[in-house]
């Protein structure tokens, strides 16, 4: 029986104040098993239950408690709403007499949740792929072929990477773009005037990018393109200084190429390409599709010319495209977080200022 103290029962009065036998000793006797405390019968089960309350809580569990089943499944452990014992006529409600539910486990919103249901829910979370069928695989291959294509690309390039002979430190980097533009490089090397003319056209294109980006802010009052350009060039400066790549062999410079004057520049990544992507994305947002396509074509020609003059590695140009997309998206999120109003809508005119 445990540590329950054996308390002697208090004696019940045999007579009341009128010296007559007390009715509680005649008509209200209780037959119990165990000890008596303050005139109340204490059964053996009550003593065992009291002992269990002293033990660790989990040692008395007979089924998963509500908080554990809530953690295992998505259904919150909500206590069922109490059913009314009486209706409006003060008669026992039929739902308490005839509509009792016997369930195993917890109750959620009055609905019985069995242990098997909880285990089934957990299995669905742990091993989703075990429920796949051949129809599911065919559906993925038909309607989600792009991720499937990338999965095949992952496996292919894993094989290439792990079997490829690495370039020795004494050799120049291998660049597939340089291989593809080998003929253009020979032409530009043999014709410095053509190289200078193409460099001049490239500088004009960079000026077009810069003019458009500043125009959207200063004239149209839309700062997103300018903010994304500031983000992009700042990050380019940090990365370019952190890893200073060697100038490619066979580099063909020009005094009119941007930056003008044969000054030094960061190779990683291409600000030419990233700036053009930022401008093109803004044009598409404003439904200037013809101008956006023109910038995309000029950007492709610019990339070919940079590879032909060995002004950038292929990775510089590819990351430039990604950087333009990334920082345009970040600038949009920055605008949403700050809720920057249109500068054109908030500009104070001279008449309003002096009146």
Q: What totals of helices (H) and strands (E) does the chain contain, helices first?
A: 16, 4
- Residue 324: phi, psi to the nearest 5? -60, -45
3-state helix, strand, coil in the chain (%, to 5): 60, 5, 40
Q: Which of 257, 282, 316, 328 is catalytic?
A: 316
Residues 250 and 185: beta-carbon distance below 8 Å: yes
pLDDT of 191-245, one tens digit each?
Answer: 999 999 999 999 999 999 999 999 999 999 999 999 999 999 999 999 999 999 8
pLDDT of 83-121, one tens digit each?
Answer: 454 555 555 544 444 444 444 555 555 556 777 777 667
- Would the pLDDT of 289 be above 90? yes
The pTM for the full model equals 0.60
Look up 312 and say whether it is catalytic.
yes
CB atoms within 10 A of CB 24: 13
> CB under 8 Å to 339, separation ≥6 — which residues?
none
Look up 316 and say whether it is catalytic.
yes
CA end-to-end span of the chain: 94
- Would the pLDDT of 61 be above 70? no
Residues 9 and 36: beta-carbon distance below 8 Å: yes
Share of the chain above pLDDT 90, in %: 46
Low-confidence winner among 167-171, 179-183, 224-228 (lowest mean pLDDT): 167-171
Distance CA 18, CA 283 (A): 106
Q: Which of 185, 257, 282, 312 is catalytic?
A: 312
Distance CA 152, CA 158 (A): 10
Q: Which of 185, 272, 282, 328 is catalytic?
A: 272
CA atoms within 13 A on the CB side of 152: 6
Look up 15 and say whether it is catalytic.
no
pLDDT of 331-350, one tens digit each?
Answer: 999 999 987 555 444 554 44
Helical pair 314-338 and 224-242, crossing angle rounded to 10 deg = 130
CB atoms within 10 A of CB 80: 13
Low-confidence winner among 19-33, 61-75, 125-139, 154-168 (lowest mean pLDDT): 19-33
- Residue 43: pLDDT band with limits 50, 70, 90: confident
CB atoms within 10 A of CB 112: 14
**What's the mean per-residue pLDDT of the chain?**
77
């Amino acid at each position: 029986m445990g540590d329950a103290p054996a308390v002697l029962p208090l004696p019940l009065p045999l007579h009341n104040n009128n010296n007559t036998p007390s009715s509680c000793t005649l008509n209200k006797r209780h037959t119990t098993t165990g000890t008596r405390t303050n005139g109340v019968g204490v059964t053996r089960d009550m003593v065992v239950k009291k002992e269990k309350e002293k033990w660790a809580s989990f040692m008395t569990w007979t089924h998963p408690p509500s908080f554990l089943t809530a953690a295992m499944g998505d259904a919150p452990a909500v206590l069922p709403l109490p059913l009314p014992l009486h209706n409006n006529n003060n008669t026992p409600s039929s739902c308490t007499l005839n509509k009792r539910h016997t369930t195993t486990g917890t109750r959620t919103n009055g609905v019985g949740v069995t242990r098997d249901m909880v285990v089934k829910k957990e299995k669905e979370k742990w091993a989703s792929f075990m429920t796949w069928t051949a129809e599911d695989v065919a559906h993925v291959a038909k309607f989600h072929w792009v991720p499937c294509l990338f999965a095949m690309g992952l496996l292919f390039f894993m094989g290439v990477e792990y079997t490829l002979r690495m370039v020795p430190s004494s050799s120049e980097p291998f660049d597939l773009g340089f291989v593809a533009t080998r003929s253009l490089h020979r032409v530009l090397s043999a014709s410095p005037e053509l190289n200078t003319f193409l460099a001049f056209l490239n500088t004009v294109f960079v000026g077009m990018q810069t003019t458009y980006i500043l125009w959207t802010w200063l004239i149209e009052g839309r700062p997103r393109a300018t903010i994304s350009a500031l983000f992009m060039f700042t990050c380019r400066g940090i990365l370019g200084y952190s890893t200073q790549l060697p100038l490619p062999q066979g580099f063909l410079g020009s005094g009119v190429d941007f930056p003008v004057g044969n000054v030094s520049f960061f190779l990683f990544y291409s600000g030419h390409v990233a700036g053009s992507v930022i401008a093109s994305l803004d044009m598409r947002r404003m439904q200037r599709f013809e101008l956006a396509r023109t910038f995309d074509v000029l950007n492709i020609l610019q990339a070919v010319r940079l590879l032909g003059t060995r002004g950038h590695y292929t990775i510089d140009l590819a990351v430039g495209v990604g950087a333009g997309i990334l920082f345009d998206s970040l600038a949009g999120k920055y605008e949403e977080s700050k809720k920057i109003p249109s500068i054109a809508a908030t500009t104070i005119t001279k008449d309003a200022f002096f009146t």
